[in-house]
């Protein structure tokens, strides 16, 4: 007690400040109720998504094998795969330089241009299709016709529409990857004799590969399920511009529910596969 009396008053105050505050049971109870509430919402949402997927598989399993042997389904599957892969590659060629410029350069109107790049994300797909139809038809249609590169109501139109919708997702992911790289690493490589192109290929791209792969995955998933812009620009023509999404729409409109359900199951499996790849690449990027 005497020792405490010898301590300065400031030391006693500091001792009181540093001492742990007594636990408040009411506050802990409120936090527990918050966790319970959030847990219930999470469980309900998870159950709804599981029921959504399970109901589709249970209801559409009847003629699944017959649909797989259907020539229309095979055409739609092959057509969707090659158009979506082509659109994704084109999106990558456009998104890599665009994402790099947006990440490394500062210029007037940069925020406006970034907003312009994101327009296909927020714009309704039907509106995007109408805008593409006007551009590729009345505005630039004659030029494309001279070079035998018609876009409207052709397979090229499908690729153009898919690429237009998928590119912003790739740009966002690539820009994020380039932003995460310390520019000093690129400068060090330049001092070692690397050209600017070699620095980009040997340093920048390998360091951003996680975001690049995840961006490509998201772009491919978006191109794979595109319907609105594709329907407006390329039309809905069976066995010509028929993607998997178009096949679902056409067969639902004529009452062939089993065919539409089976195709929906295929697209669901593809979506789950692509999202698993996306999660894998994203977790790999975080671990790096």
- Quickly list DSSP for 223-283: HHT--HHHHHHH---TTTS--HHHHHHHHHHTT-HHHHHHHHHHHHHHHHHHHHHHHHHHH
> Across the chain, what does the average pLDDT equal?
82
178-223-159 Cα angle (round to 5): 105
The DSSP call for residue 118 is: T
Q: Which residues neighbour 278 within 8 Å (Cβ) at sequence distance 6 or greater? A: 214, 217, 218, 221
Q: Which candidate, 233, 227, 267, 225, places its Cα nearest to that of 73?
A: 267
Give domain status of residue 85, yes or no.
yes
Range of the domain at 105: 64-287
Give the separation between CA 173 and CA 20, rounded to whole angstroms.
Answer: 45
Region 8-36: mean pLDDT is 57
> Are residues 199 and 254 located together in one domain of the fold?
yes
Percentage of the chain lying above the pLDDT 70 cut = 84
Region 235-253: mean pLDDT is 89
Residue 84 tokens, joined: 């979506």
> Are residues 168 and 43 located together in one domain of the fold?
no
What pLDDT score was predicted for residue 252? 86
Q: Which candidate, 95, 106, 91, places its Cα nearest to that of 226?
A: 91
> Are residues 136 and 203 located together in one domain of the fold?
yes
Domain count, the chain: 2
Q: Which candidate, 221, 256, 230, 220, places its Cα nearest to that of 73?
A: 256
> Are residues 182 and 244 located together in one domain of the fold?
yes
**Lowest mean pLDDT, pick from 67-71, 87-91, 156-160, 220-224:** 67-71
Is a pLDDT exceeding 60 seen at residue 182? yes
> Are residues 55 and 118 located together in one domain of the fold?
no
Give the separation between CA 150 and CA 130, rounded to whole angstroms.
Answer: 16
pLDDT band for 188, please (50, 70, 90 cuts).
Answer: confident
What pLDDT score was predicted for residue 284? 52
Region 6-12: mean pLDDT is 46
What pLDDT score was predicted for residue 8? 47
> Are residues 125 and 162 located together in one domain of the fold?
yes
Q: pLDDT tens digit string along 130-169?
A: 999 999 988 888 888 888 888 999 999 999 999 999 999 9
Instruction: Tell me the H-state helices in the chain.
Output: 2-6, 9-18, 25-59, 64-68, 71-104, 110-117, 119-122, 125-134, 141-146, 155-179, 183-191, 196-199, 205-207, 209-224, 228-234, 244-253, 257-287
> Are residues 44 and 186 located together in one domain of the fold?
no
Q: Between 269 and 278, name the one with better pLDDT.
A: 269
**Lowest mean pLDDT, pick from 7-16, 144-153, 237-246, 269-278:** 7-16
> Are residues 117 and 95 located together in one domain of the fold?
yes
> Are residues 73 and 171 located together in one domain of the fold?
yes
Give domain status of residue 1, yes or no.
no
Q: Which candidate, 84, 132, 108, places its Cα nearest to that of 246?
A: 84
What pLDDT score was predicted for residue 197? 83
Residue 131 tokens, joined: 């805008």
Is a pLDDT exceeding 80 seen at residue 275? no
Give domain status of residue 254, yes or no.
yes
**Lowest mean pLDDT, pick from 4-18, 84-98, 231-245:** 4-18
Region 178-193: mean pLDDT is 86
Give domain status of residue 19, yes or no.
no
CATH classification of the domain holding 117: 1.10.3720.10
> Are residues 146 and 270 located together in one domain of the fold?
yes
Region 54-74: mean pLDDT is 75
């Amino acid at each position: 007690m005497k020792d405490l009396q010898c301590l300065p008053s400031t030391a006693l105050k500091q001792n009181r400040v540093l001492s742990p505050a007594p636990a408040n049971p009411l506050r802990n109870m409120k936090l527990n109720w918050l966790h319970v509430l959030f847990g219930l919402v999470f469980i309900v949402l998870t159950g709804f998504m599981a029921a959504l997927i399970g109901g589709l598989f249970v209801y559409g399993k009847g003629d699944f094998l017959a649909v797989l042997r259907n020539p229309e389904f095979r055409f739609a599957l092959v057509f969707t795969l090659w158009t979506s892969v082509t659109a994704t590659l084109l999106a990558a060629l456009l998104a890599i330089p665009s994402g790099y410029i947006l990440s490394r350069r500062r210029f007037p109107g940069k925020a406006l241009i970034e907003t312009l790049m994101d327009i296909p994300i927020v714009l309704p797909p039907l509106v995007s299709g109408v805008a593409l139809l006007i551009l590729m038809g009345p505005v630039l249609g004659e030029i494309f016709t001279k070079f035998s590169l018609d876009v409207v109501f052709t397979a090229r139109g499908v690729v153009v529409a898919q690429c237009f919708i998928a590119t912003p997702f790739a740009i966002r992911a690539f820009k994020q990857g380039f932003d995460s790289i310390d520019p000093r690493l690129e400068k060090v490589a330049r001092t070692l004799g690397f050209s600017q192109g070699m620095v980009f290929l040997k340093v920048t791209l390998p360091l951003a590969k996680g975001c690049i792969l995840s961006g490509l995955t998201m772009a491919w998933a978006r191109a794979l399920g595109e319907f609105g812009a594709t329907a407006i620009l390329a039309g809905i023509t069976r066995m010509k511009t028929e993607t998997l999404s178009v096949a679902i729409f056409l067969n639902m409109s004529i009452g062939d529910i089993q065919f539409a359900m089976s195709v929906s199951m295929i697209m669901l499996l593809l979506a789950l596969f692509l999202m698993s790849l996306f999660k894998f690449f994203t977790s790999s990027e975080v671990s790096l």
